Structures are given as C-alpha cells and as structure tokens.
Structure 1
Amino acid sequence: MLHLETIDEAVAAEQLAKEMQYVDESKAREIEQELAQSKQQGYQPVTDEEWKAHHSLNLKFDLYVIPFCTLIYLFCGLDRANIGNAATDNFTQDLGMPATAINTATSWFIITYVPFMPITTYFGRRVGQPLFLGVAGFCWGILTLSQAFIKTEAQLIAIRLLVGFFESGFFSTAAAYISIFYPRFNLAFRISMFFFAYAISGGFGGLIAYGAFNISGSLYGWQYLFLIEGSLTILLALITPFWLPTSPGTAWFLTPAERHYAEKRMVMDSSENLADAHRISKRDILETLKDWKLWMMLPCAMITTMGPTGFTTFLPLVVKGLGYSGAMANLMSVPPYIAGACLVLLFCWSSDRHHERCIHIVIGLTIVIIGLALTVALPEEQVHARYGALIVLLAGTFIATPLNASWLAGNTPDPGKRALVLAFNGWGNIAQVFSSELFQSKYGPSYSFSMKVLLGLMILAFFGYSFVAITLRLVNRHRAKKVAQMTPQELEEENLSDTRVGDKKLTFVYGT
C-alpha cells in the first residue's frame, strides 16, 4: 500500500513556537525552507514504492497524453505561421497583394486571438478540454486548408481572424489540462514540450514548405503548402476527443489502482485539486482579476513572447534577407529552430529538477540578448556570421514563455483560477501585433532596426522577471514570520477555512 501521509504542519508549527521567543530574519528563512518542503510546496513521494509508482505514472502520461497534445500544438504553430513560409514563394505577388499584406493579416489575427483567450478557455473547461481541443483544431484546420483558394487580401484577413478565434484558447486550455495530471514541479518540462513543438513547427514547416514548393502541378507551391498542413490538422483533430482522457481518474490507459493513485497525488499536491474538473466559479473569476502576480508578470510575458511569435512567422523572410533563395530560405530556417527546441527542453527539465523558475528565465533571456547584440553588431556582408547569431538568438527565444506559464501555474493551486490565469497570461500574445510591425519589409533585408528594438525590450524583461522573483521571496519571508507566531489551532484554522484560499493562505509558499 502506498504511503500517502503528509507533513503534520500543526505539530511542526508548535515545535517552532516553543523554540522561538521572537522572530528574526534567520529564523524566518528556516521556517520558509520548512514550509517549502511541506505539501504546500507540492507533492513529493516518500517511500521507494511511492517513488516507483510516481515515475511509472508520469511515464504513462508522458507516453499517452504529452505527445498527442504536443502534436496538436505543433500543427497549431504550423497553421499560425505558414503565411510566412508562403510569402517566400511569391504568395502576395501571385494574388496581386501588397508586400505588407502578410504583416496586416498577422496583426488582424491577434484581434481575435488575444481578447477571446479567457472566453474560449472558460468554454473549454466547461465542455471538457479534450472535446474543445478537437473541435477547435478541426475548425482552424478547415480554415488553413481554405487559404489555398483565397483571391483577395480581404479574404486572407477574414480567414486569419477566424483562425485567431479558434486558436485563441488552445495553449491556456492545453496547459491547464496538462496541469491536472502532473504535480507542480513535474510540470515545466511537460509544458516545455509545447514550446518544443512550437519551435520545431518552424523548422518542420520549413521542410514541408521546401517540399511543397518543389511539387510540379497545376497549383502554386503555397497552395500545396496550405492543403497539406490543413488536411493533417483536420485528421489529428478528429482523433483528439477519443484519445485524450478528461482527467487522471478516467484515463483509459491506467489500471484502477493507478487511477486512484493519480487522483490522490494531485490532491496531496494541492487540496484545491479536489474541485470539479469542469468548474469555474465566480470566485475564480474575481480572484483571477485581483491576482497581482498575473499583472506583474504579464508585461514580461508580452515582451518575451515577441521573440517566438515574431520569428516563427518572419524568420524565413529574415533568412531570405541574408541572401538565400525562397526555397533555400525555408530550409536554412530549420537549424535555428532545432537549437531553440533543444534548449527549451534542457532549461525546463533543469527548472523542474531544481524547483526554480526565475534564474532559468533570465539565463535564457541572456542568450537572447547575446544573439540580438551579435546580429546588430555584425556587418551585413558577414552573412554566415549573422546566420550564426540568429541560431544563438533562436536558441534562447523559446525558454521564457513555458517557464513563465509553469511559474504561474505552480503558484495558482486552484484548478479553475489556474485555467483563467493562464488564459489572461496569454494576452502576452498581443506582442505579435508589435512583432509583425517590427518585421515589415521596409526594415529589410537586414532588419537591424527590428533587432535593436527587441534587444532593448529583452533587457527590460530581464529586470522585470528579477523584480517579480524578489517580490515573491519577500512575501514568503513575511508569511514565514506570521506562521511562526501562530498557535497549532490557528494554523489548522488557516489551512481548513475559506477566509483565504489557494495561494492567499499564509502557509502557501510561492515558487521562485
């Protein structure tokens, strides 16, 4: 039988109270560390048997849930960014559109993508995430396929508006969905798989585009591109509701004992996980709107999102500006994405292993800053050196966003509020409006101005995330002092009452 006992925090607090006549800074640090090791900081197996069951369960979710969600997100990235690939095959010229049509369509995409995130996420949680992901994927797959037959810029904009709507709730819904299967410090690496998919979607899209543009037929190369990617998305979406379970307790690939343990460990990770899997209450909405962490981190998320959203769409154009041909520009965009995909996995794995978010984020931003600085400083005629700088830049550009989402998810124990927090955090994607303006053709072929602006913004994000971490540590220290002065009865009341909920409880320790 698995050992499922947790730390008796009331006894621990009573022992601390006996030892303390007053609370000083050093004692506060000790209390903070003790709380950080308790269940308030996430589920940790105790016995060898429990560790074995824990790893076995994670492995099954890693094999059945994560790859499928990752594959859907890969096609989400493909269908979002494929107009950038199409642009290298004379997409706008063939339809008689201005060169800025791609930038305009990208900006219009955001008009529905960003504002509808909380609404579609709420709806997805109400109907069940697997069904929502399947329906949304089917709809944007149909729209992607239909792009092969557009004739005017107005039709392109209309389709991009609809694609934005159906993709709007995908990431926050999928991230919230993943968070119901894994304890909080097993989460970042799994969410990073989405960004691994998003990163390789650029490279994979480049390979598909290279093949599509070399098809000999009655259609343009960019038409084959839209037809291929749209058809694959539709096929995958039709399978989704039947493959993905709605919760750990309904996973078709687990034994009854494994389902029971899967639910138990999530309750031990946070008692808030007892809540109805499909419920979002009025209190969840109000608590989300009042969550200071969300609004502190949103500007940072917005800045760091400019890298992934900008480069996944416009990297083929930037590479083409270095002197490579249309088809070759798509092929040469693959290595930077591979570098980005590998590094995001490495950093998120390390972040989970060390139970730390901020330092990993700022190191990732440092890599981006170095890449941008090299791109700006190197002379335009040094094509290969500037291409190498792009690889450095892309290597770091995907790191911050999944760690930002994991940081927020881990610090939001209530599942309903967590889904909404991730949805509102998705408003950072409004940065795509600015990134599409930064990569207008008038700044090409070198895009030096665009790189300089991004360099300044990434430095700002570096200090922004550092400020968030310092603030959270100060809050933890303040709470540790209060907990040390509480009686066992007060501590029990704090844990059981609804006066403060979720991360508002004094015994909750924020991850940094």
Structure 2
Amino acid sequence: MSRAAQTQRILHRTDCYLLPFLSLLFLLNSLDRSNIGNAETAGFTRHAGLQPGDLNDSVALFFMLFVIFQPVGAALGKRVGAARWVGGVMIGWAFLTALTAFVRTRAQLLTLRMMIGTLEAGFYPTTVFYLGLFYTRYEFAQRLGMFFGQYAVAGAFGGLVSWAVFKIFPSGEEEAMRNGNNGSGLYAYQVMFLLEGFLTLVVAITTFWWLPLGPRSAWWLQQSDREWAEKRVLLDRAGADQDGEHRRGLAGGEEEEGEELLRDGEEEEVDVIVAKSTVGGEGALTRRDVEEAFRDWKIWWILALNIASSVPGAAFSVFLPLVIKGMGHPPLTANLLTIPPFLCGAFTLWGITYLSDRSHQRIKYILIGLAINLVGLLLVVLLPADALASRYLSLCILLAGSYIASPLTVAWLSGNISEPGKRAVILGINGWGNLAGVVSSKLYAPEYGPSYHFSFVVTLALVMGAWVGYWGFRRALIFVS
C-alpha cells in the first residue's frame, strides 16, 4: 500500500474515532462554562437570593482563574497525559456544575465558579496540543475548526436544553410556582445545572479508556499504521516534507509556509524532533521550552490581539440569552432564539477553516472573520432599538464572525512551533486570551442593559483594533522575513 493510501486511511479513522469525541468534550466544556447565562433568564440570581451583578462578578472571577492557570494547566496536562488529565478535571467540574444548582449565597457562587475556572484552565490548550499529535499543519485548522466550533454549538445546544427544561419545569421570570410535575420542588435552572453536570460526568468517565496516549497507541489504527501516523506529523513539525525535503522559506508574505517563525530562525533537524518524542508523541517539557516561550515577542503581540478579538465570543457565549431577552422577548423565546446565531457562528467557522487549510493561509482568514464581526456590530449599533427583526439578523451576522480568529490563531501558532514542549507552553500563554471573558463580564453588566448599546460600541472598537493589529502583524512578518 502506498504512503498516500495509508495516510488517507489513518486520517479517515482518526476523523471518525477521535475528532467527534474530542468535539463532544469541548461542547460539554463550553456548555458548563456558559450555562449560567441561560440560568439567569429563568431567574437564577433572584431565586437564589443573589443580586444580578453577582452573576457578572462570578463570570469575571471564573475567567481570571481560568486565565491565571492556563499555562500551568497546559504544562500539567502535557506531563500527566491528555487522557488522564482531561478525564480527571472533567469529573471535578461536573460535580461543581451540579452543585451550582444549590447556591444560596454570593460567596458560594463565586467560590464554585472560581473552582470550575481553575479546573477548566488546562482543558483547551491540552486538548489542542493533543489534537496536534494526530494531524499535520495543513490538516489541523479544519479539524480545530470542527473542535472549536463546539463553543458555538454549545450555545445553540444550551439554548435548546434550556428551552426544553424551562418548558417542562416552569419557573423564573414567569413567576410560576415551584414545579409540581414530579414533586421535586426544584426550579428550572436547578434541573438544568443537575442535568448538564450529570452529562459531563458520564462522558468524563469514558475518556479514560477512549483516549490513547498518542498515535502510537491509538486503538482505532492498525498496528502497521501507528508508527507512520506519528512519524508523518513529526516530520511535518520539523519543517520537512514526508520524503525528507525541507520546505521553502518565507516568501511573499506566505507566513504559514516555511521555517518556524517562533524559533527566531533556529532550525530543528528531523531526527532531533523524533528523538525527543516519547511514547505517544508527547515530548518532555524542559526549562528551555518555558524560557524560549516567554522570551518570544510574537506571542505577546498575538496575545493582545487574541484578547481584543475574543470579546464577542466570550461575551455572547454567556450573555446572548440576556441580550435577546433585553430586546423584549420572554425567557423561553429568548433561549430558543439563541440557536440560529450560534449555528451561524459554527457553520461559518467550519467553512472558513476549511478554506484556510486548502489555501495554507491563516491571518488572511482571521481578517475575513473579523470583518464579518465588524459588519454585525456596526448594524447592531446603528439600527434603531425598535427594529427587532433587523437587530436580530445583525446578531446572526455578528456571531458568524465571532469564533474565527481564536482557532486560526492557535492553528498558526501550532503550525509554526516544532518543539512539543515549547508549543504546549505557547498554547498555554495564548490561552490568556480568555481575559476577554473578564472584559465581557464587566462590559455586559446589568447597568448597561437591556439595550447594551454602550457594550456594543466598546466591543466594536476592540474588534476594529484587533483587525488593524492582525493586519499589522502580517505586515511585520513579511518585513522580518
């Protein structure tokens, strides 16, 4: 069998057995992160004896801990192994999500969300690093898009689950009595937290036997395929074609082609990369990896842009139900109406990451995504408050561009760093882009509702700044090359 046929078989089986499962994990991760916004439409803070601003404070503290522990979580995830790390932290936050149903004080809410943020901190960089063990650089963005798209799908799924739960267990804004259908005496939001915590727990337990250490122990591959599954990725990371020929250097601004940008010109030979890998493809984390990651000026430029461009995605993953409710829709309808905008975000992301892989371009498509985002934001800001249908359509456009920059930035970083240890730390640092969640929690505070006009204007300015910054970064890459 030819190498090409073997590669296609490996990709097909990995796409069938690994990618959907990791996507499910990220969907549940995103759902447990954002469900507090859906809960608030059912009167969460009011029934729990809290103030509306407590919810925003809990979101801010969640993201603060989430950001602080990103590099630590990424390093621990790499050292412990993705399967064991991901399964363990998921079990932890599943129980904490369920406990949120019984919050009765501000301190309890803040403590639980901080603990969830700490546990979830290493999940995304660990799973992205793990996914990168199975795919070469120009197979990666499309798969990462499918994976990251679950962030948007989780919003749609959360809206559907919330609508169904709130329909069956009426409570919250409609001022219905405690549900008497099954004698549980639970509010609708409590049922939602318990249900989502249970789903996360069941899937988390499955990870321990579903996820292998890496390609060399992938149970869905034949023994003869496992060695090549790992080697072809290592060869690609080393900047060589699979026949051993080095890729050409940077030319004409094709920043994703050629030598590794974050190594400042230092080349790594293929045999060194292969030799440093351990069983499963996960190399040891060294002090040199950490030092080089923190010294690289490019990651700090990208991090600033990542924070600004991620504000819409972070904000609307939590607050979209409240924004739509602020347009005058009742809670049930508001949760149902979150589904189309989130699906717009997912499908647009999947289409653009596909084109990105096909064209071997990253920053170009980041700029396209941010441009879509800007169109939606401009429409929301400029349209009159009573133009409900037009403003809702604007939200669909806005969400369509909200999830593109982050995964393509990760794909750019991952595709340009051959050293596994440094790549893991860089992805952890890039995870500090979740500071956007802290910004959004204050930006979409109750005092700016129900129209959130000021919030949209500031978001517009941040995204516009991100577009200019990514354009400037691309020009800088051309200049230094």
Bin for the TM-score computed over the shorter chain: 0.7 to 0.9
Q: Is the 8 A contact 1:141 1:234 kept in 2?
A: yes
Q: Is the 8 A contact 1:127 1:278 kept in 2?
A: no
How many corresponding residue pairs?
Answer: 429
After TM superposition, the structure 1 = structure 2 runs for residues 197-212 of structure 1, keeping only pairs within 5 Å, are 197-212=150-165
Q: Cα offset for 1:140?
A: 0.5
Is 2:295 the partner of 1:290? yes
1:359 is aligned, of 343, 360, 364, to 364
**2:129 maps to what in 1?**
176
TM-score for both structures, normalised by structure 1: 0.82
1:452 partner letter: V
Is 2:214 the partner of 1:247? yes
Is 2:280 the partner of 1:280? no
SS in 1 for 2:212: coil
After TM superposition, the structure 1 = structure 2 runs for residues 413-432 of structure 1, keeping only pairs within 5 Å, are 413-432=418-437
Q: Cα offset for 1:273?
A: 5.0
Alpha-carbon distance in 1 for matches of 2:5, 2:477: 33
**1:46 maps to what in 2?**
none
> Where in structure 1 are there 5+ consecutive unaligned residues?
2-48, 477-512
Q: Is the 8 A contact 1:266 1:273 kept in 2?
A: no
Q: Cα offset for 1:407?
A: 0.5
Deviates more, 1:188-197 or 1:416-425: 188-197
Alpha-carbon distance in 2 for matches of 1:186, 1:291: 26
Alpha-carbon distance in 1 for matches of 2:372, 2:366: 10
**2:53 maps to what in 1?**
100
Q: Cα offset for 1:413?
A: 1.0
2:374 partner letter: I
**2:394 maps to what in 1?**
389
Q: Cα offset for 1:260?
A: 1.7
1:113 is aligned, of 58, 66, 69, to 66
Is 2:13 the partner of 1:60? yes
Alpha-carbon distance in 2 for matches of 1:317, 1:273: 50
Q: Percent of aligned pairs with the same residue?
A: 40
**1:346 maps to what in 2?**
351
Q: Cα offset for 1:51?
A: 2.4
2:22 is aligned, of 69, 75, 81, to 69
After TM superposition, the structure 1 = structure 2 runs for residues 21-170 of structure 1, keeping only pairs within 5 Å, are 49-170=2-123
**1:7 maps to what in 2?**
none
**2:143 maps to what in 1?**
190
**1:33 maps to what in 2?**
none
2:27 partner letter: L
Q: Cα offset for 1:403?
A: 0.2
Q: Cα offset for 1:234?
A: 0.4
1:282 partner letter: R
- Hey, which bits of structure 1, 4+ residues long, moved more than 4 A? none
After TM superposition, the structure 1 = structure 2 runs for residues 394-409 of structure 1, keeping only pairs within 5 Å, are 394-409=399-414
SS in 2 for 1:187: helix
Deviations 1:88-128, CA, capped at 9 Å, x for gaps: 00111112211111101101112211111111111111111
Deviates more, 1:439-448 or 1:261-270: 261-270
Q: Cα offset for 1:445?
A: 1.1
Q: Cα offset for 1:278?
A: 4.6
> Where in structure 2 are there 5+ consecutive unaligned residues?
170-178, 180-184, 239-269
Alpha-carbon distance in 1 for matches of 2:64, 2:459: 22
SS in 1 for 2:168: coil
Alpha-carbon distance in 2 for matches of 1:423, 1:291: 14
Q: Is the 8 A contact 2:283 2:420 kept in 1?
A: no
Q: Is the 8 A contact 1:284 1:416 kept in 2?
A: yes
Q: Is the 8 A contact 1:203 1:333 kept in 2?
A: yes
* Superposition CA RMSD, Å: 1.1
Alpha-carbon distance in 2 for matches of 1:149, 1:264: 50
Alpha-carbon distance in 1 for matches of 2:371, 2:404: 11
1:219 is aligned, of 186, 189, 194, to 186
Alpha-carbon distance in 1 for matches of 2:320, 2:345: 13
Q: Is the 8 A contact 1:191 1:406 kept in 2?
A: yes
Alpha-carbon distance in 2 for matches of 1:65, 1:383: 42
- Whose radius of gyration is greater, 1 or 2? 1
Q: Is the 8 A contact 2:345 2:403 kept in 1?
A: yes
Distance 1:67 1:430, change over 3 A: same
Alpha-carbon distance in 1 for matches of 2:425, 2:86: 16
SS in 1 for 2:68: coil
